Structure 1
Amino acid sequence: MLDLPSPIINYLHSLTFENRSPAYLLVDKNGCLSEWGGKLAAYGITNLQKGQYVTEQLFFLEGLLPGDDFPIFLPCIKTEYGRCADLHILPADEGDWVLLLDATLEEIQHSLIQQQGNDLSLLRQEQARILNQYLGRDIPEDLAPDLFKLHERGERKDVTILFAHIWGLSAYSEEHPPEVVFRMLNLCFTNTLQQILDEAGLVDKIVGDLVTAFFGVVPASGSSRDRAVKAALRMIEAVRDIGKISGVNHGSKLDISIGIASGPVALGILGGRLHRTFNAIGYHVNLAARLESQARPSEILIDENTFNQTGNILQQNFAPASLLLQGIADPIRIYSWLVT
């Protein structure tokens, strides 16, 4: 026997027995119930008959008895009464001892892990759907599990958030038939999403003419701040090129404005059983949206966190400015790059 201090023995006793509703059965060599005790009522087991076949009284033991010559452990066995138990079968001269220990907590944890795994699978499928739709690639829906480094139950993570708004599409839609408008939309999104992906960004949402993306969620080398700014610059250039190639004119000039903010956000999956989506929540998500709403066409607005952690070469293109946010008394420092 291990020589353990009393506090540890007491803790192990409490952990293993007191909190797990221990109950037992003794089944003789003929398969008949000869003895029982403990907290059987916790498993819905009542009105047992001594000398009767145990499998006629407890169907969840069907096929498990008689046991072998060595102990058997079966985790999370659900009884016909709906309670989950860890089942231990211990052979002895007098028959087979059956020990039940409550496994409800383990069952709940397993269900949560399974659901969280399903949630991450949904995230990967949604990302694949977006890429397939706009890039026309044959991307498997079961993207590599290592692609998204999120803890299953959600986590707080330092990321860079990008909001982008494509200007001119509303005016363009009034001047052209729907099929031409959507062809232009797809052309814009195909090219702008490619710039995000090339910088290891995670495309979050596409709503109308607005795109949201995160940098620092998908594993990649280099600073997420630098990659977001580089993606923003290339998005502006891509939209301009589309406007030139497509011959957009008559006042419906295509352009794009971008807001970027960096900092800790809560990442996870929200929703009910029928609809679950990836979400990021926090001050910096709202700040990126506000920056985009204040940005002019061809302008990139970034917050101070992003600026301070961006490389010197990129920093040289930004000019300091300030922005007054609702609910905050003093203006916040931001930085602007009007791409010419």
Structure 2
Amino acid sequence: MASRIATMRRAITTAGPLRLSVTLLVLLLALFIARFSWNLPLALSAERGLYDVRVDLTAPRVDQDPRVVLVVFTEETLTATGKRSPLDRTMLARALTNLDALGPRAIGVDILIDQPQPEDPVLKAALLDMKTPTFFGFSSNAENGEFVMPWQEAHMRNFFGSVASAPVRTANIRLDVDNDNAWRQWPNPAGRPPALLVNAITGVKGYERHQGSAIFRKAQYADRPVFASLPVDLFGNADTAAALKDAIAGKIVLIGADLPEADRFITPFTRLSGKTTPGVELHAVLIAQALDGSDFKRLPGWVIWALAILAVALGAVTGGFDLGARLLGPFVLAEIGLLGWLPYGLQGAGFDTYGLPCAGLGVGWLLALMAASTTARIVGAEQRKFAQGALGKYLPRDVAQQILAEPERLQLSGERRPIFALFSDIEGFTSMCQSQPPEVVAATLNEYLDTMSDVVLKHGGTIDKFVADAVVAFWGAPIARPDDANRALACAVEMAQVGERFKQPRDGRPAMGRTRVGLHWGDVVVGNFGGEGRIQYTALGDSMNVAARLEGANKSLKTAALISGEAATQMGLEHFRPMGRVRVRGRQKPIEVYEPLGAGDAVADKVFAGLYAAFERGDAAALQALRQRSAAAPQDKALAYLVQRMEQVGPGGVYDLD
């Protein structure tokens, strides 16, 4: 860990003030989002959605509440009474009279008597005979001007003023919703009389000015909802109502509508279930909370700041460390799990997490991770470029030891010598970069380049450079060996084989395309170039270009590795199968190309080379034999395409590559 911290300090020093300033600005933006995402329009919907889900998942399961019972007008009631709106007041009057006789603690009516009806005298008579404290819904034009006109408010005041001698009062039945029309919070305290229904009907002190999230509960048993609900029709007849005395006596009774199209609310439970809740039941939720004397614990502002700082710090530190894919994956998963769990854990522990960022923590963490990893990647690239002359990273160990012992072997001015030049590349790497997060691309590419570097060094090659996902290497400089041809061939085959492993996703690493290899033998100028203060040991010349063109030709020829005739002759043609004669861009002279056995689909076939040679001499039967071999091996696309080219260009012909 100490070495990692030291590496990060060096990276900060190397980054420079401008890059550090940009990174700091992004980190501050990440912190702002992590802290204030509930105030950002684009993030608010996500935050509310995640809040709803955690409320649903953490809501306690309880048995049926014995203190509150709902008496509701249903579709069956409307059918029987023949009235939909306003609700039948004769039925309401009978129900109130019969409920009053059963001895409830209090009755709340979530219905507005906001316009005159022929049945009003019946209802007034019933109210004047009431003994039970009864609270009718009331809403003023000042509070609810969209739905309550001044004349409606005046009618309600006159109506209930006429029954003032009875224990009948009005109560504010407002249920405030968020701007997404979902109900999650206690209504704002009543600014003027009457009091909210929950305060008026319970009389519980301390909730007159209460604010915060409502405490939702779920039924413990499927056949016993949290609040018992009985059709109002059962109380229209005194004899039927008397049979329900035990269900009513001593309880708070709430009368309202439970209809599919009226007075229904979206709640946090709607997010997963898709079901809405009648308003009368939401009043029961508030009443139960007040009777319990319960409330969520408040999260201090400093806790939210601390969580935001934690999210950004985790992202920045993780992105700033130069971690390999095997370490990065577990760290990232652990941090995502922690940041995702914290809001749910706090909600489950009884804290009010309405307003606590969840999506914001994730976005802030991701921005910090990307900012730090991008800076670290840029700094790392500069450091790698500066350290490119470090022998141990680019030369085999025995060669490096010789160079350290004889520094003059690294010619500053350059020298001409024959080498085996190798280029490798990943098919479709650009597309993968565009579809994956930067940290995944960086980790995947680093793992790939580390693996390919190990293969090159294992076979005694000198690593020239990395160009994005491309590896450039050569054999024969700075020190030539007698078996460089065999080493280069073995490296090309193993790189193609190892590349197959990266085509399958693993441990968070995405699938990569085929690794393509090109190998050529010829003269180049090798040496240290760039001046005394900033040098790079590299090879220059046409032979390097030919190797690069051969790597690219794999795509057209459907091969994994292509070796020029010059290189194959040095290595022994028995290790290859011929792939024809091609002309590459930028080079007029045709190149004989060969595919090494063991790379791609190339397998040993003693007859193949003879058939190819016979075709080159003009033997038509040889071409037919090759067609049959291709048909017998449909998976060998390189062979099929070779036969197609042979048919096209004929014996001795040259296939021009774009």
TM-score range, shorter chain: 0.5 to 0.7
Once the two structures are TM-superposed, the CA of residue 143 in structure 1 deviates from its matched residue by 6.1
- Shift in alpha-carbon separation, 1:123–1:190, aligned structure 2, 3 A: closer
In structure 2, which of residues 546, 565, 569 is the aligned counterpart of residue 308 of structure 1? 569
Name the aligned partner's letter for residue 155 of structure 1: E
The equivalent residue for 1:154 is: 414
Once the two structures are TM-superposed, the CA of residue 240 in structure 1 deviates from its matched residue by 1.4
Structure ID, larger Rg? 2
Q: Is the 8 A contact 1:129 1:141 kept in 2?
A: no
Q: Is the 8 A contact 2:465 2:471 kept in 1?
A: yes
Q: Is the 8 A contact 2:394 2:464 kept in 1?
A: no
Equivalent residue runs for 1:235-274 within 5 Å: 235-244=495-504, 246=506, 253-272=512-531, 274=533
Q: Deviations over 1:285-313 (max 9, x none)?
A: 11111111212375211111111111355
Q: Is the 8 A contact 2:389 2:535 kept in 1?
A: no
- Shift in alpha-carbon separation, 1:191–1:287, aligned structure 2, 3 A: same
Once the two structures are TM-superposed, the CA of residue 144 in structure 1 deviates from its matched residue by 2.3
Residue 599 of structure 2 is aligned to residue 335 of structure 1: no
The equivalent residue for 1:212 is: 472
Residue 468 of structure 2 is aligned to residue 223 of structure 1: no
Q: Is the 8 A contact 1:299 1:339 kept in 2?
A: yes
- Shift in alpha-carbon separation, 1:141–1:228, aligned structure 2, 3 A: closer
- Give the distance between the partners of 2:482 and 2:407, measured in 1 at CA: 16
In structure 1, which of residues 181, 184, 202 is the aligned counterpart of residue 441 of structure 2? 181
Once the two structures are TM-superposed, the CA of residue 195 in structure 1 deviates from its matched residue by 0.9
Q: Deviations over 1:1-40 (max 9, x none)?
A: xxxxxxxxxxxxxxxxxxxxxxxxxxxxxxxxxxxxxxxx
Once the two structures are TM-superposed, the CA of residue 335 in structure 1 deviates from its matched residue by 1.7
Secondary structure of 2:592's aligned partner = strand
Q: Is the 8 A contact 1:259 1:302 kept in 2?
A: yes
Name the aligned partner's letter for residue 477 of structure 2: V
Q: Is the 8 A contact 2:421 2:521 kept in 1?
A: yes
Once the two structures are TM-superposed, the CA of residue 226 in structure 1 deviates from its matched residue by 1.9
The equivalent residue for 1:294 is: 553
Once the two structures are TM-superposed, the CA of residue 158 in structure 1 deviates from its matched residue by 1.5
- Give the distance between the partners of 1:328 and 1:181, measured in 2 at CA: 34
The equivalent residue for 1:11 is: none
Q: Is the 8 A contact 2:444 2:509 kept in 1?
A: no
- Shift in alpha-carbon separation, 1:142–1:225, aligned structure 2, 3 A: closer
Name the aligned partner's letter for residue 525 of structure 2: A
The equivalent residue for 1:134 is: none
Once the two structures are TM-superposed, the CA of residue 332 in structure 1 deviates from its matched residue by 2.6
- Shift in alpha-carbon separation, 1:246–1:276, aligned structure 2, 3 A: same
Name the aligned partner's letter for residue 290 of structure 1: R
The equivalent residue for 1:275 is: 534
In structure 2, which of residues 543, 558, 564 is the aligned counterpart of residue 284 of structure 1? 543
The equivalent residue for 2:392 is: 128
Q: Is the 8 A contact 1:147 1:218 kept in 2?
A: no
In structure 1, which of residues 181, 184, 194 is the aligned counterpart of residue 454 of structure 2? 194
Q: Deviations over 1:114-165 (max 9, x none)?
A: xxxxxxxx9984343568xxxxx9xx99962348844453211121000111
Q: Is the 8 A contact 2:582 2:593 kept in 1?
A: yes
Secondary structure of 1:292's aligned partner = helix
- Give the distance between the partners of 2:402 and 2:483, measured in 1 at CA: 27
The equivalent residue for 1:45 is: none
Name the aligned partner's letter for residue 516 of structure 2: S
Secondary structure of 2:502's aligned partner = helix
Secondary structure of 1:246's aligned partner = coil
The equivalent residue for 1:169 is: 429
CA-based RMSD of the aligned residues comes to 3.4
Secondary structure of 1:158's aligned partner = strand
- Give the distance between the partners of 2:388 and 2:469, measured in 1 at CA: 23
Q: Deviations over 1:34-67 (max 9, x none)?
A: xxxxxxxxxxxxxxxxxxxxxxxxxxxxxxxxxx
Once the two structures are TM-superposed, the CA of residue 255 in structure 1 deviates from its matched residue by 1.5
Most deviating of 168-177 and 298-307: 168-177
The equivalent residue for 2:114 is: none
Once the two structures are TM-superposed, the CA of residue 334 in structure 1 deviates from its matched residue by 2.0
Q: Is the 8 A contact 2:583 2:590 kept in 1?
A: yes
Once the two structures are TM-superposed, the CA of residue 272 in structure 1 deviates from its matched residue by 3.7
Q: Is the 8 A contact 1:159 1:263 kept in 2?
A: yes
Q: Is the 8 A contact 1:216 1:224 kept in 2?
A: yes
Q: Deviations over 1:67-99 (max 9, x none)?
A: xxxxxxxxxxxxxxxxxxxxxxxxxxxxxxxxx
TM-score by length of 1: 0.53
Identity of aligned residues (%): 26
Once the two structures are TM-superposed, the CA of residue 328 in structure 1 deviates from its matched residue by 5.0
More strand by share: 1
More helix by share: 2
- Give the distance between the partners of 2:483 and 2:430, measured in 1 at CA: 35
The equivalent residue for 1:232 is: 492
Q: Is the 8 A contact 2:564 2:592 kept in 1?
A: yes
Q: Deviations over 1:142-190 (max 9, x none)?
A: 9623488444532111210001112233222223211111111011111
Equivalent residue runs for 1:129-144 within 5 Å: 144=404
TM-score by length of 2: 0.29
Q: Is the 8 A contact 1:239 1:255 kept in 2?
A: yes
Q: Is the 8 A contact 1:255 1:298 kept in 2?
A: no
Q: How many residues align?
A: 210
Secondary structure of 1:295's aligned partner = helix
- Give the distance between the partners of 1:142 and 1:225, measured in 2 at CA: 20
Secondary structure of 2:561's aligned partner = strand
